[in-house]
Amino acid sequence: MTTTRHSRLPATSVDDLTVEEEREFEVFYRRHRPVLSMALHRMTDDTRYVDDAVQEGLLIARRRWRQIRTYDCPEAWVVKVTVRVLLRWQQDERRRQQRFVAVPDPPPADNGAGSAEDTEVSRAVAALPRSQREVVVLHYYADLSVRSVADALCRAEGTVKAQLFTARETLKAALGEEDRDAR
């Protein structure tokens, strides 16, 4: 086995997994790929590389499945790796282009936005500053714990909590909701 640049874990060749491990990964892939893709589409303002980053993250997970399957939360590890792949690719692209990308319109209806309320929420989330948008998407849309979000984004848990609080306040104001604590 060889070690790859993404981790100190040994890389497993496709032939190294047992039939049971291969089935487990297939179930994992089918369950988590759509959520991961949706989360990354909502998290970033530059979606050109999202599908490729999702595939890359899952490919890395596949190579290390024997070890990853033993983790308490293997999906958090995959999110962490995939987010880092995407951010690295976007950073490389920004360096090449030396410009910033504007926040796009919300994703089309087939990416999770269905009702008018969903579209309004999607627009409000898309308008958040990038750091707040990232934590909101990973925490609420990808259903990761604060600790997993912090780990995936290499931020302190307190920072993630503060960004979630600020984002919720911004979303309440943008969506015209009353402060429930004031009642």
Q: What is the pLDDT of residues 115-162, one digit of tens each?
A: 667 788 888 998 999 889 989 988 998 888 999 888 888 889 999 999
For residue 2, what are the β-bridge partners? 11
CB neighbourhood size of 118 (10 A): 13
- Per the prediction, the chain carries an average pLDDT of 81
Q: Where are the domains of the chain?
A: 7-177
Those residues whose C-beta lies under 8 Å from the C-beta of residue 68, and which sit 6 or more positions away, are 9, 61, 74, 77, 78
Total residues belonging to the chain: 183
pTM higher than 0.75, yes or no? Answer: no
